Amino acid sequence: MNAPFTDQHRKAFVMAVVLLLASAVLLLLGVSVGSTGFESVLNMQHDPQAMLIVGEIRLPRTLGAWLAGALLGLAGAVAQGLFRNPLADPYLLGSASGASLGVAAAMVSFGVSPLATHWLVRIGFTGAAFIGAVLAVLLTLLLAKGVQHTLRLLLAGVIVGVVLGALSSLLLLLNPDIMQAMQSFMLGSTGFVGWAACAVMATVFVACMATAWMMSHVLDGLALGEATAQSLGLRLPPMRAALIGVLALATGTAVAQTGLIAFVGLAAPHLVRSVVKTTHGRLIGLSSLMGAVLLLAADVLARGVIAPQELPVGVLTAVLGGSYLLWLMHRATGRGAGL
């Protein structure tokens, strides 16, 4: 009777091992790919410049890509479980539009007000993106009048995303000189991730993972329906609020450091579920590893495909993730089932 569960546990364990091995291989590739090629790794002991390239540029960028992908994968699993919607992604509550507006406003202020310039020197565009993402989520919660009604929360997130996106476009229209800089943020990039950003993302990831894992039984209960979850004694409003906090913090941190990177948070849980059916406790951990592998692989490809030039990593994730989801929809349609 317990054989199916044992089999699923085994599959989950094997998948975790495979993803960790893939992460290790991609981390090695990440520190080896760049404009100077693999020679920088070979000459690290004898060339201070090679040591600087690998230790201060490639290594934090590679680790940062892994951490950002892990945050987005975690946030995607939480979002899909919380909203009971396989198409839910980490940007569903307006955080992406809020981050874009925050960065656009920061760029405009940076060139206009000396006071704003002093402030931005302290918090940077990273801080502006994070503040914009968090404020967007808070605005969504305000419009939805809390977290009690999932449908209202989804609608409020869509409205906030559209309105803030329109405001960002208006700022770009009025200030065309910031368009090129904004394009880098909108397309996503790991090129500016340093050790400080890695430390921030690692800290947030550990906190969000611990909280999400402790709250995973809530997602398991919600999968059976809200009425069933309440009958199990789950206090849904405060627990849902805590999960939304995890979702907002993980998404805002990743977006603030790497810009808008599409489809990683949406595709990672789907890839995990296509291999193993498990509880949300394991799903969250596996989705984090899957998201980390996806973004790191895309980052390595973005640096290596047309080296020494680079492709925006967000473009690659959108193409690869979108292609996978289209194939998944086609397969599901052929079987007469949903995603």
CATH number at residue 241: 1.10.3470.10
CB-CB contact of 34 with 299 (8 Å): no
Q: What is the pLDDT of residue 305?
A: 75
- Nearest-5° angle of CA 202, CA 298, CA 73? 45
Q: What is the pLDDT of residue 47?
A: 56
Contacts of 173 (CB under 8 A, 6+ apart): none
Encode 163-181 in three state secondary structure: HHHHHHHHHHHHCHHHHHH
Element (H, E) at 44: none
Measured between alpha carbons, how far is 251 from 192 in angstroms, rounded to an integer? 18
Q: In a 3-state reduction of DSSP, which class is residue 118? A: helix
CB-CB contact of 174 with 107 (8 Å): no
Q: What is the pTM of this model?
A: 0.86
Measured between alpha carbons, how far is 169 from 173 in angstroms, rounded to an integer? 6
Tens-place pLDDT, residues 262-319 = 889 888 998 898 888 888 889 999 999 999 999 999 998 888 777 667 788 888 888 8
Tens-place pLDDT, residues 257-274 = 888 888 898 889 988 988
Q: What is the pLDDT of residue 152?
A: 84
Measured between alpha carbons, how far is 326 from 339 in angstroms, rounded to an integer? 10
- Which parts of the chain have pLDDT scores under 70? 1-5, 34-53, 111-124, 147, 226-234, 236, 307-308, 332-339
- Nearest-5° angle of CA 207, CA 133, CA 296? 60
- Nearest-5° angle of CA 25, CA 193, CA 306? 60
CB-CB contact of 260 with 187 (8 Å): yes
Number of domains in the chain: 1
Q: What's the Cα-to-Cα distance from 286 to each of 11, 166, 224, 275, 291, rounded to whole Å? A: 11, 35, 21, 11, 9
User: How many CB atoms are closer than 10 A to CB 180?
Assistant: 8
Tokens encoding 295: 């973004």
Question: Which structural domain, as residue segments, surrounds residue 48?
Answer: 3-335
Q: What is the pLDDT of residue 86?
A: 80
Measured between alpha carbons, how far is 44 from 239 in angstroms, rounded to an integer? 49
Radius of gyration of the chain (CA): 20
